[in-house]
Amino acid sequence: MKKLSVLALTALAAFTFSMNVSAATKLNLSVPDAAASSIGVAAQEFADQLNEKSGGELEVKVYFDGSLYGGDATAAVTTMQDGGLDMLCLSTSWYSSFDDSFNVISVPFLFKTVDAEQAYLNDPASKPMWDAVENMGVKFLAAWTRSFRMTTNNIRPITQPSDFEGIKLRVSGSPIYQVFFGEGCGANATPMSFSEVYTALQTNTIDGQENPADVPYSSSFYEVQKYLSATNHVAEAWVVGMNPDKFASLSEDMQTLIMDTAQEMQQWKKDYDAATDQADIDFMIEKGMEYNELDEEGLAAFQEVSKSLYPKFQEIVNNPELWDATIAFAEAN
């Protein structure tokens, strides 16, 4: 009888365990970049924390390189709205395809430091953007910082605006980039899906691209690019969003866990970027890229170009209150 009781208890424990496993809510989390990129690492950390903190109630799996939406970042938002994606980390520049307001954070040389950018993301001045995310049918979880964007190309080092003259430069979908690099700096600004960039660089369809340092590092652009210039022209943000129906289907405890962890990850990611950006740059230098930073004269020249385009940028943003609040915040910080 004792042996049967032990067997019965063992079977009950196994059944209970299997029930707990099967009861886990599976969530996919999609990012546009490689696993080794900053957002790839942060997304995996976010997923790991949710899986651990939920005690098995959540099972979050990360999908990299835009694999769940064919690499088309614009389609990613609609796919999540339709329920094809559960969770998504996507740059603010791609949300500008749906709402012009998101262009405001892409104004070149807007923030002096990443700390200032983070403060803006948490300030009421930026709230209209996060409200707009909700109005798109996406549950807004958090906004994470991005490191300042740099430039890689095969023509020449970038030290001043005129160095962009004639360079075929891949840019994101935000029209701010096209105006700044095209009209302001004389580049041939070319929007392109990120999934196509490596091949386009390799075949000289384009001469260069611009992204935070972790992107050319994790995407191996150093194999097909010669110059790496710390232009540090834009600091965007990552919008962490979720399908609202999937979010609503979770218990209140799990909803709170996801929201709190997403917010906590903002600081985690900023600290991670601060610790790894230089290592990424050093690696690319070791691989043969020539690196340069802007001197004071070059930086001032870029800032002047950007400010001269403010009237056009303001028209693109098409939200006077958000524009005024953002510019005022940036100038004060």
Residues β-bridged to residue 92: none
Whether residue 87 contacts residue 240, with contact meaning beta carbons closer than 8 Å, is answered with yes
Angle at the Cα of 145 from the Cα atoms of 248 and 229, rounded to 5 degrees = 145
pLDDT by residue (tens digit) across 54-82?
Answer: 999 999 999 998 889 887 877 888 888 88
Region of poorest pLDDT, from 46-60, 81-95, 229-243 = 81-95
Decide if pLDDT at 88 tops 60. yes
How many other β-carbons are positioned within 10 Å of the β-carbon of residue 323? 20
Closest C-alpha among 261, 325, 330 to residue 119: 330
Mean pLDDT of the 113-124 span: 96
Mean pLDDT of the chain: 92
* Residues forming a β-bridge with 239: 90, 143
pLDDT score recorded for residue 13: 52
CB atoms within 10 A of CB 36: 14
Sheet containing 58-63: give its strands across. 58-63, 25-30, 87-91, 237-242, 139-145
Q: Which pLDDT score, from 0 to 100, does residue 5 have?
A: 52
Residues 261-292 pLDDT 10s: 999 999 999 999 999 999 999 999 999 999 99
From CA 157, how far away is CA 87, in angstroms rounded? 38
Mean pLDDT over residues 127-147, rounded?
95
According to the model, what pLDDT value does residue 150 have?
Answer: 97
Can you list the domains of the chain with their CATH numbers? Answer: 26-147+235-279 (3.40.190.170), 150-234+290-332 (3.40.190.170)
Residue 92 tokens, joined: 């603010």
Burial of 21 (0-12, 13-18, 19+ CB in 10 A): exposed
Residue 17: its H or E element: helix 2-22
